[in-house]
Structure 1
């Protein structure tokens, strides 16, 4: 699952339209649309605005991406969640994911 798809799933579960999410997150409607369709890279700042608007904790947001039997991946996610530099680590992680999508 890609980040944009996950944003859409959470938005729909909160019964928000793209317009409502755009207004709550102080981002543009076209930007939200591009993110949900995986046509735009997402900065940590923008992701945090979206998660705050939907009242979702970042660790909860990434949990579906971590649902796996791979113990090493689970350990990595736990370490990131506890790290004082987790914002920078998440930003790097998102950058790596965007490179893989190209």
Structure 2
């Protein structure tokens, strides 16, 4: 069985790739060296919670998503929803309601497309 460093590292790699980022790009956004990001993704680095938070912020996801490795979210829809949730989490209730109302107006104009 893999250890937690490998599992979290694999989740970070999966999320990074789903967002179309290279290790170099993630390193630049999160202000780490690319070799550090590589070591984290391979489970070779015992990364601190502060550094995980910086990486999560750079990927625009919740920190807890790195620990969701039993049921990995690999679909594009999940990735987009995670990004929307992250963006909304930075706003106050009034702004969230405003965004919700705008979304409802937009959805009223669009046909319902469900991929099943």
The TM-score, its normalising length taken from structure 2, stands at 0.53
Aligned mate of 1:10, from 8, 15, 31: 15
1:42 and 1:32 map into 2 onto residues whose CA distance is 10
Aligned length: 67
Unaligned runs of 5+ in 2: 1-5, 73-116
**Any runs of at least 4 consecutive aligned residues in structure 1 with deviations exceeding 6 A, and if so which?**
none
CA offsets, 1:43-78, max 9 Å, x none? 0011001000000012333233478xxxxxxxxxxx
Unaligned runs of 5+ in 1: 68-102
1:20 and 1:61 map into 2 onto residues whose CA distance is 18
CA RMSD, aligned part only? Answer: 1.8
Structure 1 or 2, whichever has the larger Rg, is: 2
The TM-score, its normalising length taken from structure 1, stands at 0.59
1:47 and 1:60 map into 2 onto residues whose CA distance is 11
